[in-house]
Chain A
């Protein structure tokens, strides 16, 4: 059949029904259709090595041109902590009434940075890797998850810096340090969920990534990163209770306080919000499961148009 088709092209030999039947007979499937949720999870699991390799590669590529190389992994968080100490500890004196202010502040900054950069990376997860999305087939959720994993690795370096600080200011090691693991796991799930939500939003509306820094900064200031929510509530006794509850139920504040409780011996359980582990798990499940399903729902649309 090598006839020249003139415009408009005449209908080919087989009408539509026949081709569909032919496809069905040979078990051909529609190209580019969204897989079912269990199938999607299976595909994602099959790509787990890619997810980790991509995260590690991004992390190492980050400082590969710098003379000091990977030393910056620890230097950057330390310098960040120094800047925040100077501004909030020395200039603004938020350290009043907070025991072990340096570890308190540094823990807050590191844990917050983990959530913040995960979410920022999430908004650019699809748009920033558009070449990858347009060239290769893989469950797209691999991208936001991989970016969050990169941030988690980054945080582990920061934690090493934090350990140095803890020793330097004389906070003794304690059994409660083990609690870092469940706290980080929950926070990672929460971050991954939120960044999947923003990955979908950011894929449709790239403008989100312009807006996010402002939202995140506001969120940071109400999360008690550099100051103690407890102290604030004591100072303003007249505040309605729902404001206090809201401030304490804020997921960022919850994860930050859990980490402080785990690492700093002068940060007591009484300073934690009520049912803190339950709240932390709830946020993680809500964001993690909800974000994953929300992201999967638009799987076939990423990187198109």
Chain B
């Protein structure tokens, strides 16, 4: 956090000495989705058999389609930065995040990372039939924490989620929770671990106002521990509050990369969001 006063200047890339430590480098990244079965062939048995016997040739016939979700994106993220990813729906923000996390292969280019970036989210590891308590352990273990670490933080996680504020809910199966309670617990578990590079996909919109304030605070804290935080959000307010740098993706292309206020202004002009004109004076 110490160095976030100076903003990303391209010159930093070429200075070998005394440069800031990069945590994520995206070098001309293309990400392409391949989708099976968009053609008419899937339904018939002979077409399916053909696909199994000659997968290559049959790909086209079976209607294999490609979606170029991220196109030639290049950026360098440094330690201590909080970077917002904005763009209209389907612009490739979440895909880029998955690429950084190493969960989606890149077609061209390379993504280099310092340590293992992780997506904030353990939803998939949790089981509704188990109690909240067991889910805390299961989620923690799934994220790679040790039993001791979880035990240490257990009370903190439960208190943070506020699950027990209205009674002993943590010992009930998670399927009995209200959706708000469930998402609060999930966020609390996910946020319990310190990450080198933290990737957050629209996680700030869960829970009531009080919990949202708490989670924003927790993200600031994690940012202090983590090297770098990436945040995907459609809430410009959340981006303004958390991020000091913004990448604007549009149709998979990196349209703009710069300080939050500048990029958001351009983005708001682009989306026609004139409702919230910033009172700030225009940058000279």
Contacts and interface: CB of A to CB of B under 8 A. Distances in A.
A5 B141 contact: no
Contacts of A20: 27, 110, 112
On chain B, which size bracket covers the interface?
35 or more
Contact of B111 (A3, A31, A58): A31
Contact of A5 (B48, B147, B255): B255
Contacts of B102: 31-33, 137
A175 interface: no
A135 B121 contact: yes
Given A22-B25, A28-B25, A304-B105, A134 B98 contact: yes
A5 B10 CA distance: 14
Interface stretch (A10-18, A96-104, A214-222, A288-296): A10-18
B159 interface: no
Q: How large is the interface on A (under 10, 10 to 19, 20 to 34, 35 or more residues)?
A: 35 or more
Contacts of A38: none
B146 interface: yes
B160 interface: no
Dominant secondary structure of chain B at its interface with chain A: mixed
B118 interface: yes
- Tell me which of A32, A54, A132 has the highest count of chain B C-beta atoms within 10 A of its own C-beta: A32
Contact of B117 (A1, A11, A18, A31): A31
B159 to A, nearest CB: 22
Contact of B130 (A28, A49, A64): A64
B1 interface: no
Interface string A16-31: 1011101101111111
B119 to A, nearest CB: 6
Interface in A83-97: none
Contacts of A2: 256-259, 262-263
Contacts of A304: 103-105
Interface string B3-30: 0000011110110100101111101100
A30 B52 contact: no
B10 A30 contact: no
Interface string B121-161: 11111010110001001100111101100000000000000
A228 B79 CA distance: 68
B111 A132 contact: no
A28 B22 contact: yes
A180 interface: no
B84 interface: no
Given A64-B173, A134-B124, A136-B118, A49 B146 contact: yes
Contact of B113 (A11, A18, A29, A50): A29
A285 B29 CA distance: 42
Contacts of A16: 27-28, 109
B280 interface: no
10 contacts: A2-B263, A9-B255, A25-B16, A27-B114, A49-B147, A50-B141, A53-B141, A61-B127, A129-B124, A137-B144
